[in-house]
Amino acid sequence: MENIDNNIQLIVSGFCAAVAITKAISTTRRNWMLLAVCYTAGMLADLYWLLYYIFNGSTPDLFYIPYLGWYVSTLFLYIFLNEITLRNAGEKSRLMWVVPAFTAAMCVFYMFYGDYISNLIAATIMALLGCEVINGLHALKLRSREGIEQVKLRCHRRLYTAAGLFFIAVYGMWTASCFLTVDSVLSPYYWFDFMKAVMMLIILLFASSVIGLSERKDEAVT
């Protein structure tokens, strides 16, 4: 089951990376470049994990090579969301502080199962992503009162919601992996992992429409 799951993750991240790289080359837009790094890092990490597992019969445990790939992927997703945000400087939601508290608590919990450094890096990056999602959604609520065009708001809202669901899927997967007992499709670990893969695809789809809207706006200005 793990091999099937790894293959699905690799196919999804490979497809997303191919689309993002093609778009980055054809448009030379920075947002697409950020997404290209995000998906390529994830795809290479998935490929490395799968190859290591096939040829060595175990998963890499000395250094953090695949984990770094996944963390960088999440970090660049955060940077992308930060770049396209409609948030004004200093505009933050009070609810934002729930995210670092949650990631810190989960980090302590995961430390019972894994190592310290890796969990600290993961918690920091996930806190950044979570805060960006909350602040982004809060800013959209404020902008809707200011009469910004509905299409733009809808596209951004969908993208941030998908990123929020990605956040939930990642935490669900990590938590389920702590209690992984059966290697079958019935294990919640695989449900969350599949959900993560679907969210990656959906994020690409909504990101594409958000970047498309800003491209049209730039063209109209010029």
* Contact footprint for other proteins (CB under 8 A): 25, 28, 30, 33, 37, 40-41, 44-45, 47-48, 51-52, 55-56, 60, 62-63, 65-66, 68-69, 71-72, 75-76, 79
Pick between residue 92 and residue 141 the one whose CB is nearest to other proteins: 92
With residue 41 as reference, give the H or E element that holds it. Answer: helix 30-56
Q: Tell the smallest beta-carbon distance from residue 75 to other proteins (Å).
A: 6
Q: Tell the smallest beta-carbon distance from residue 176 to other proteins (Å).
A: 25
Name the residue type at position 119: N
Pick between residue 43 and residue 106 the one whose CB is nearest to other proteins: 43
Show the DSSP H helices in 58-187 as ranges: 65-84, 98-111, 116-145, 150-178
Pick between residue 42 and residue 140 the one whose CB is nearest to other proteins: 42
Decide if 209 contacts 35 (C-beta within 8 A): no
How far, in Å, CA of 189 to CA of 44, rounded? 21
Question: In angstroms, what CA-CA distances link 121 with 135, 176, 197?
Answer: 21, 19, 22
Pick between residue 121 and residue 168 the one whose CB is nearest to other proteins: 121
Pick between residue 28 and residue 181 the one whose CB is nearest to other proteins: 28
Q: Tell the smallest beta-carbon distance from residue 104 to other proteins (Å).
A: 21
Q: Pick from 192, 210, 208, 168: which is nearest to 84 by CA?
A: 210
Q: Tell the smallest beta-carbon distance from residue 45 to other proteins (Å).
A: 6
Q: Tell the smallest beta-carbon distance from residue 138 to other proteins (Å).
A: 22
Matching residue, tokens 């984990």 = 67
